[in-house]
Chains A and B, each alone.
Chain A
Amino acid sequence: MRMDRPVKATEAPASPAPTSLYAARVKVYPARVQGRFRNFKWAFLVFALAVYYVLPWLRWHRPGDAPDQFLLIDLAGRRFYLGPIEVWPQEIYLVTFLLIFSAIALFLVTSLFGRVWCGFACPQTVWTDLYMWVERRIEGDRNARMKLDQGPRNGVYWAKKVSKHAIWLAIAAATGGSFVLYVQDAPTAVREIVTGQAGAWTYSFVGILTFTTYALAGWAREQVCTYMCPWPRFQAAMLDTQSLVVTYRAWRGEPRGKHKQGESWEGHGDCVDCRQCVNVCPTGIDIRDGQQLECIGCGLCIDACDAIMDKVGRPRGLIALDTLADIQACERAVAHLAPGPKRVEVAEAAHTPIKVIRPRTMIYAGVLGLVGLIMLGALAIRDTTELSVLRDRAPLFVTLADGSVRNSYTLKIIEKRHDDRTLTLRVDGLPGATLAGLAADEAPGPAIPLSVRPGSVATHRVHVFARTGAALPESTPVTFRLLEPDGREAARHDSVFLAPRR
């Protein structure tokens, strides 16, 4: 499948003189449009912005000192909280799974519906759309904006421009301000930011994101998609002839040209060359040139064209969300017919249904399911209590007055739950050995109680005494076992017990 723009006749002959590869940006003035796609885009915009701005404010009660924020990337506390799920730094692979899951979900959606991510869900698209809405409210629609930019730099011009940029900056600041709420307690952070008590890092990040939002959504816009974003470059690998793409049905539209009301459509394509599809395009391309890198698949040209088709009395769908396979099938079916309404009727019967089930989508769906299962499995079976044992290295062992040998260990008990309890520590592999913790008044015994720190790491130093007179090799493998009050094993860790060379 060719995704590149068909070479136009005017561009065809290669110029002999070396030409510059630089192209100045042609400012895009997208016109207002109404229709199905526009409505969906508005709905998704409201939804996406609501999620972004509201999410940090959702509360979720957690026991103990844990923060009560539903979603919190607690950088200072080194935890990731999502509702009932609490991820520790060593479980960051769960977050990795989440990213892999999202990526493959994106692949699957792209192979089914084309560039819906670019057209509706990408933050660049959402914020650009919001900025364009502000722009339109202040400066007016396409023609008014063009006139304003070309017109005199008078008071009206500056009033409009200044108020537009002020509102843009306000939105950008709210965006940057909201971002930092994901890594701090939201109410506290907002209070600190407003009263000037937040840290330099907070202000830096608010500043950086304010700037990027303002620059990318206000100034860069479609250039981000065309020149900066890698996704349009490699998403072609997810698309095939069965993927839904925004496309112009050339078999129906050509030959394009002006059409007077009442005239016969025979010998005339449905495209009246009104250029509405070009005017509304947020990236400023002509969809009639075929599949293009710049097209973000938002479907606004479909809305624009449908409105025109209604007006001129032709069926909708000259530009449509369609598969390339269907386009080709219709093209073949109508090839023998002269341009005209007959073509639409014949093509009606020639449409091929979309093949949703095909190897590509099945593989993506399969991998998606697999990653999801692994993720859920890893989440379900992760340990809530972990033990690690660090052997003292200085000294490796201590010879006691009665000639017996003692080794000392530092135990770290990771307790992810938030209930306070006391576990029992035993050591296997060293018959007759006794243990002693640091707690006062505690006689050494074969098992000692160790307390956990709920939702944190408890550190205990433990001495292990070999039986007096035991003939020990230089190194004896031992296993530390932490037992729950009911006798179940909570965690274990292997180590060694060292003794002097005999």
Chain B
Amino acid sequence: MPTKIEKDAVTGKETTGHEWDGIKELNTPLPKWWLYILYATIAWSVVWAILYPSFPGLSGHWRGTTGWTQRTAIAEQMRAVDAERAPMLERIRSAGLEELRRDPDLLQYAMAGGRVAFADNCAACHGAGGEGRPGGFPSLADDSWIWGGTLEDIHTTILHGIRNTQDPDARMSMMPAYGQILSRQEIDDVAEHVLSFTGRSTNAESAARGATIYADQCVACHGEKGEGVREQGGPALNDAIWLYGGSKREITAQIANPRMGVMPPWQGRLDEATIRMLTVYVHTLGGGE
């Protein structure tokens, strides 16, 4: 209920001219600068609404005179990043693998790019630092390679993968399940012989029996002295690296019912430059030949 504006006796200020149950209020307006900032923000919001996507309509929405959207903005940024990277990636694509390793600039770039690609694509199985995981995911940091550790070998393995069905050029090796071929005793003997490669055999008699079976069944892939045959993808049995464990029990299990890991082909999933960067990165993890 508006009443008349009065002057308050105590403060000398005017009242708002409203009265509620005998209660009157002093008129203390917002500071002017505050008010002007409010008006400025209102004016700005109108400008904003015209320039940028704002009001919903019946079919779609007001797109703003600038045509700006977050999607086009990010796409533009991505294009800019790609354009910036393009010359270096082109050099990496066209350079030989060996050249990639020798040119300090290319090497540094490839290492950085390879580290990121490795973390995204490889670390799940091979570990963040290429240390491998128990249960058949080989370490890429040691100097024992099943399929070879030169740049070319690593490149081929990444391109085509191992024992997969997607890529006809995938590296392929298959160890028969000797549990269905050999007797328990024979398998035990072969395991004893395998242990003898690393000087751990405890039963010379059994190992000698195993040597005969080994010569028949295993030599083609694992080599005469268990040194492994890379062309066949047969791992070395005479070193300290065991993909599925090096105890007699684990060796026996692997002979009877072998497990064999699968790696997908990365050709087609990753572009050639990334695969080359990954190759160099894996090569530098410690075991590169």
Contact = CB atoms under 8 A, between A and B. Distances in A.
A341 B284 CA distance: 95
Interface stretch (A113-121, A197-205, A391-399): A391-399
A337 interface: no
Interface residues of A, number: 16
Interface stretch (A49-57, A74-82, A252-260, A400-408): A400-408
Contacts of B139: 395, 398
A492 interface: no
Contacts of A392: 129
A406 B286 CA distance: 9
Contact of B286 (A393, A398, A402, A403): A398
Nearest to A404: B240
Contact of A398 (B101, B142, B239, B284): B142
A440 B151 CA distance: 12
Contact of A461 (B131, B143, B241, B284): B284
B102 interface: yes
B129 A394 contact: yes
B128 interface: yes
Contacts of B131: 394-395, 398
B53 interface: no
Contacts of A408: 141, 286
A14 interface: no
Contact of A402 (B98, B128, B141, B240): B240
B116 to A, nearest CB: 16
Interface string B47-66: 00000000000000000000
Nearest to B145: A401
Nearest to B108: A459
A381 to B, nearest CB: 33
Interface string A448-485: 00000000000001010000000000000000000000
Contacts of A399: 142, 240-241
B141 A398 contact: yes
A189 B128 CA distance: 44
A194 interface: no
B235 to A, nearest CB: 11
A438 B110 CA distance: 13
Q: Which of B98, B130, B241, B286 has the most CB of A within 10 A?
A: B286
A395 B239 contact: no
A162 B139 CA distance: 77
A402 B102 CA distance: 28
A393 B130 CA distance: 11
A394 B130 CA distance: 8
Nearest to A394: B129
Contacts of B144: 400-401
Nearest to B285: A408
B236 interface: yes
Interface in A372-424: 392-395, 398-403, 406, 408
Contacts of B236: 401
B284 A400 contact: no
Interface residues of B, number: 20
Contact of A401 (B107, B127, B141, B240): B240
Interface string A32-68: 0000000000000000000000000000000000000
A461 B288 CA distance: 14
Contacts of A400: 142-144, 240-241
Looking at chain A's contact residues, is the secondary structure mostly helix, strand, loop, or mixed? loop
A401 B241 contact: yes
Nearest to B288: A438
Contacts of A403: 239-240
Nearest to A408: B286
A412 B74 CA distance: 35
B142 A401 contact: yes
B107 A438 contact: yes
B239 A401 contact: yes
A408 B139 CA distance: 14
B26 to A, nearest CB: 15
Interface string B116-153: 00000000000111110000000101111000000000
Contacts of B141: 395, 398, 408
Given A398-B141, A402-B239, A403-B240, A438 B127 contact: no
Nearest to A407: B286
Interface in B85-107: 98, 101-102, 107
A395 B240 contact: no
B101 to A, nearest CB: 5
Contacts of B239: 401-403
Nearest to A403: B240
Nearest to B144: A401
A63 B279 CA distance: 37
B65 to A, nearest CB: 21
A393 B142 contact: no
A342 to B, nearest CB: 55
Contacts of B240: 399-403
A440 B286 CA distance: 12
B135 to A, nearest CB: 16
A16 to B, nearest CB: 14
Given A401-B142, A461-B284, A395 B241 contact: no
Contacts of B286: 398, 406, 408, 463
Interface in B139-192: 139, 141-144
Q: Which of A400, A406, A440, A463 has the most CB of B within 10 A?
A: A400
Contacts of B241: 399-401
Contact of A393 (B101, B102, B129): B129
A308 B128 CA distance: 85
Interface in A329-377: none
A328 B286 CA distance: 84
Contact of B102 (A398, A401, A440): A440
Nearest to B141: A398
Contacts of A394: 127-129, 131
Contacts of B130: 395
A463 B101 CA distance: 17
A440 B98 CA distance: 9
B131 to A, nearest CB: 3
Interface string A249-271: 00000000000000000000000
19 contacts: A395-B127, A398-B139, A398-B141, A398-B142, A399-B240, A399-B241, A400-B142, A400-B240, A401-B143, A401-B236, A401-B239, A401-B241, A406-B142, A406-B286, A408-B141, A408-B286, A438-B284, A440-B101, A461-B284
Given A395-B127, A399-B241, A401-B240, 4 more contacts: A394-B127, A394-B128, A400-B240, A401-B143
